[in-house]
Amino acid sequence: MSSIPVTEPQYLAIANAAAALCPSDRDQFIARVHAELRGQPIGDGTIGRAIRIVQASFPHPEPERREPHGRPRARTFVK
């Protein structure tokens, strides 16, 4: 895989988008963003578009439900 020159803010945008995914999906996400950018003029808009296209193809797990005070919901067990 050849490198694509990006600025630090562009790199951080890709890394932050990858961080929102499951850890096992992050390397594949970055590789697919790289493939999406290949042959394109690199700019902020191109980076954002590539992130949006690739991120839409990954599942997004639901966040853990929390009580209003911020703690995880207590589980009740019935005997």
pLDDT digits (tens, 9 = 90+) for 13-63: 999 999 988 899 999 999 999 999 999 999 999 999 999 999 999 876 666
Q: Is the model more confident about 46 or about 72?
A: 46
Give the pLDDT score at 69: 66
Give the pLDDT score at 16: 95
User: For the chain, what are the domain ranges?
Assistant: 8-55
Give the pLDDT score at 43: 95
27 close to 14: Cβ distance less than 8 angstroms: no
* pTM value > 0.75: no
Angle between helices 26-37 and 44-55 (to 10 degrees): 130
**Which three-class secondary structure state does DSSP give residue 51?**
helix
